[in-house]
Amino acid sequence: MSLFYRVGTEMLRRLPAETAHLTTVRLLKAGLGPKTGIIDRPELHTTVGGLTLPNPVGLAAGFDKNAEVPDVMLGAGFGFVECGTVTPKPQEGNPKPRLFRLPDYAAVINRMGFNNEGLDVFAGRLRGRHGQTGLVGANLGANKDSKDRIADYLEGLSRLWGLSDYFTINISSPNTPGLRKLQGADEMDELLERIAMTRAKLAAGGTNYPVFLKVAPDLSEADIPRVVEQVRMYALDAIIVANTTIDRPDTIGEQWKDEAGGLSGQPLFEKSTRLLSHFYDATNGKIDLIGVGGIGSGAQAYAKIKAGAKAVQLYSALVFKGPQLVEEICDDLSARLKADGFTTIAEAVGTG
């Protein structure tokens, strides 16, 4: 990647975190994004939830909340891009400041609270992608003041059906009070049953689209078999492991221990990878997994794959390493596959 992007990344890091993010999106919309193009190599092809990806490195939700720059980010080399989280109604999110860089730990804490422009704007932008190539997913959430949060997910699914290549049901953010309760056994049963019924009606008109479930890294190991069984029962297509954590590991400084919000980046890597491995064991490799949490290098992306992921997603590492990271990870993955005697990503999945 050019010196221009390296210098730009360094300059953005000097701005307050949320200002830097908003500035980045504006610059990308102005055409100043990377021009790598989607990285498409035979050895990196992988299939997740029935979708064939040109490479396994995806952009996690949270970067492009309002579907403003999905094609620009595909142009940075990503194999797929997930936009959102989007809620039915626009909402401001939590009070500022709510986004914090932890450069000494290559980490981020956020308590954004699903700030977004709502489904109308989101759907309009996806509609405007008509004819564009590249896989773009929608991460669905619920409004903070909703009387029926499950209905919010159904509305998102219905309104964006036919506009998004896949859907992620995000019930794992720690920044909307009570949202993670939907990961409980009875609550998840109702949620997934209603999603399955809505999806069946929508698919009856033609194309079916994959639906993924995103879980929290703070999920207990004892809950994993139950979650896997519910995903299987209601025919979801993949599980994304995992969102940000409310834990504050000893590896971060004391000044951050009481900062509310979800922690992402390097301190999350070991915890999320361990959870991913447990999910792979529980699924017997029969449900596709996407690994998220602390990926900042090809070695870490490969570790997720060997732990059971058929694809990975990242976001926080871009804050510190810039857009050239995607190409670097893909180059490293190609080299590691070859060194280990694998010709495809599929051969490496779950071998760790």
What's residue 254's pLDDT? 94
| CATH number of the domain located at residue range(s) 3-348 in this protein | 3.20.20.70
pLDDT beyond 60 at 7: no
The 10s digit of each residue's pLDDT in 173-192 is: 999 999 999 999 999 999 99
Band of pLDDT at residue 25, cut at 50, 70 and 90: very high
The 10s digit of each residue's pLDDT in 200-221 is: 999 998 899 999 999 999 999 9
Q: Specify the pTM.
A: 0.96
What's residue 8's pLDDT? 66
What's residue 10's pLDDT? 73
Query: Which strands sit side by side in the sheet containing 262-265, from one edge to the other?
Result: 99-102, 107-110, 262-265
pLDDT beyond 90 at 131: no
What's residue 130's pLDDT? 81
Q: How far is the C-alpha of 233 from the C-alpha of 196, rounded, in Å? A: 10
CB of 129 closer than 8 Å to CB of 100: no
Which pair of structure tokens corresponds to residue 92?
């401001």
What's residue 209's pLDDT? 98
What's residue 5's pLDDT? 57
Query: In 3D, which of 216, 200, 87, 58 has the Cα closest to residue 145?
Result: 87
Q: What is the mean pLDDT of residues 138-155?
A: 98
Which pair of structure tokens corresponds to residue 267?
């301190």
On the 0-12 / 13-18 / 19+ scale of CB atoms within 10 A, 104 is exposed
Question: Which residues, at least 6 apart from 258, have a Cβ–Cβ distance to it below 8 Å?
Answer: none
Q: How far is the C-alpha of 162 from the C-alpha of 129, rounded, in Å? A: 12
Which pair of structure tokens corresponds to residue 46?
């992988």
Query: In 3D, which of 328, 338, 285 has the Cα closest to residue 308?
Result: 285
pLDDT beyond 90 at 61: yes
User: Known catalytic residue: 2?
Assistant: no
Q: What is the mean pLDDT of residues 91-114?
A: 98
**Average pLDDT across the chain, whole number:** 96
Question: Which residues, at least 6 apart from 262, have a Cβ–Cβ distance to it below 8 Å?
Answer: 109, 110, 111, 173, 174, 175, 243, 244, 245, 246
CB of 153 closer than 8 Å to CB of 85: no
Greatest extent of the chain over all pairs of C-alpha atoms, in Å: 55
Q: How many residues does the chain have?
A: 352
Band of pLDDT at residue 9, cut at 50, 70 and 90: confident
The 10s digit of each residue's pLDDT in 272-283 is: 999 999 999 999
The one catalytic residue in 173, 272, 277, 297 is: 173
CB of 270 closer than 8 Å to CB of 246: no
Residue 333 neighbours by CB distance under 10 Å: 25
What's residue 92's pLDDT? 98
Residue appearing with tokens 């000494």? 104
The reply to whether omega before 56 is within 30° of 0 (cis) is no
Angstrom distances, CA of residue 91 to CA of 12, 65, 84, 119, 173: 26, 12, 13, 11, 15
What's residue 6's pLDDT? 61
| Rg (the chain; Cα; Å) | 19
What's residue 1's pLDDT? 47
Band of pLDDT at residue 120, cut at 50, 70 and 90: very high
Would you report the helix, strand and coil content of the chain in percent, each value rounded to 5? Answer: 40, 15, 40
The 10s digit of each residue's pLDDT in 300-328 is: 999 999 999 999 999 999 999 999 999 99
What's residue 172's pLDDT? 97
Q: What is the mean pLDDT of residues 12-28?
A: 93
What's residue 3's pLDDT? 47
